[in-house]
Amino acid sequence: MDEQTRLMHSHSGVGMAGHPGLPQHMQEGTGGSDGDGRKQDIGDILQQIMTITDQSLDEAQARKHALNCHRMKPALFNVLCEIKEKTVLSIRGAQEEEPPDPQLMRLDNMLLAEGVAGPEKGGGSAAAAAAAAASGGGSGPENSTEHSDYRTKLTQIRQIYHTELEKYEQACNEFTTHVMNLLREQSRTRPISPKEIERMVNIIHRKFSSIQMQLKQSTCEAVMILRSRFLDARRKRRNFNKQATEILNEYFYSHLSNPYPSEEAKEELGKKCAITVAQVSNWFGNKRIRYKKNIGKFQEEANMYAARTAVNATNASSHGSQANSPSTPNSAGGYPSPCYQSDRRIQ
DNA sequence: ATACATGATTGAAT
DNA sequence: ATTCAATCATGTAT
């Protein structure tokens, strides 16, 4: 009850509490028709309204009671009802049914998909599964710690999100009941239709849901940052093992005149190196551009691989079948540089 | 701590 | 769709 009264006071005093001297100014400003008793009355009333916030609650309570018991009160109420009936039509037109906000739906869907908005435990495992799926299928075993890390962070976000959401929900309900009580209280002194209360509640809910949307927005952002932090492949790059690099380099330098492996060749290389075709493509893309950019730097490497393939070829042809023995790092000495053939070279 | 190496991503060009 | 070129973010050697 106390809080209701306080709300009421702040309501009536809103925007005016800072101008306690206003009535006097108005009196002076209107040209000072001294003998006019009505003006004097209005000034008094205003003065009372202005100072109402300064009064103690008991005093205010007493005044309210006095107002309610005033002999003119029923008449005044009727007048207000009449005025209301005339103006209520214009209010009625102002209500519109709001369609579900597409952006809010988008955020909700995303939070659901990330397992933030869903049920507690199930949501977590679903999110982990999604993360596992998103991290790129093939390579497996050593990222379990990363995933648990990711999961704990996601759980933290979810907890914060839920507590905040609950807080907002609670605040919204509290505020709504406050306002409804206040309106009910006020309906004793002025006419308030249930529709108006409903409208007010709707307005409050809209405000709070817009706040919730901000929460959802920032939660989504946090999840996106977390995602990129943990699931961006660049952040957990691992160099290929030596063997894979050897195989790739071997192919590259033995096809230096046209270092563009076909799809099948890429598949084969990927198989041999235990990497994906996309990774093979990446490797060749990087290798081509970097080789072209600085041929001199790669000269030694080129010589080495040329020598090795030459030795392998020699071995294969003369000694029959001693196919791949990559442990012959012949010195890069006396072999002719594997210059570009006149074939399709790197642009 | 620093510079260089390297795998992945991105946007433009083809 | 593939490749190039630039760039990012990390790995590695000094």
Q: Which amino acid is at A132?
A: A
Q: What is the CATH number of the domain that holds A261?
A: 1.10.10.60
A3: in domain = no
Question: A267 lies in a domain?
Answer: yes
Residues 6+ apart with CB under 8 A from A169: none
Instruction: Render A141-161 in DSSP notation, one character per residue.
Output: GGGHHHHHHHHHHHHHHHHHH
Model pTM?
0.51
Judge whether A204 and A177 are in contact, CB under 8 Å: no
pLDDT: which is higher, A31 or A68: A68
Together in a domain, A230 and A112: yes
Q: Is residue A40 part of a domain?
A: no
Q: Is residue A75 helix, strand or coil?
A: helix
Find the helix or strand (DSSP H, E) in which A259 lies: none
In a domain, A261, yes or no: yes
Question: How many angstroms separate the CA atoms of A101 and A213, rounded?
Answer: 10
Alpha carbon distances (Å) from A89 to A1, A84, A231:
33, 9, 58
Question: Residues A276, A218: one domain?
Answer: no
- A239 contact to strand C (CB, 7 A limit): yes
State pLDDT tens for residues A299-316. 989 999 988 887 877 776
Cβ distance A301 to A249 under 8 Å? yes
Q: For A9 and B5, how far is CA from C1' in angstroms?
A: 72
Q: Which nucleotide is nearest to A288 (CA to C1')?
A: C4
Q: pLDDT, tens digit, for every residue of A102-152?
A: 888 888 887 887 778 877 654 444 444 444 444 443 334 445 566 666 777
Q: Which residue has the higher pLDDT, A55 or A258?
A: A258
CA of A151 to C1' of C4 (A): 38
Quote the CA–CA distance of A129 and A124 in Å, as a whole number: 9
Residue A279: domain span: 242-317
Instruction: Choose between A273 and A113: higher pLDDT.
Output: A273
- Phi, psi angles (nearest 5°) of residue A97: -80, 120
> To 5 degrees, how large is the angle CA A209–CA A101–CA A90?
80
Q: Which nucleotides of B are covered by protein (CB under 7 A)?
A: 5-10
Residue A69 near residue A41, CB atoms below 8 Å: no
The A 76-135 residues near strand B by Cβ under 7 Å are none
Q: How many distinct helices (H) and strands (E) make up chain A?
A: 13, 0
Residues A227 and A282 in one domain: no
A233 touches strand B (CB under 7 A): yes
A226 with A163, same domain? yes
Which of A182, A202, A234 is the C-terminal boundary of a domain? Answer: A234
What whole-number percentage of chain A has pLDDT above 70? 66
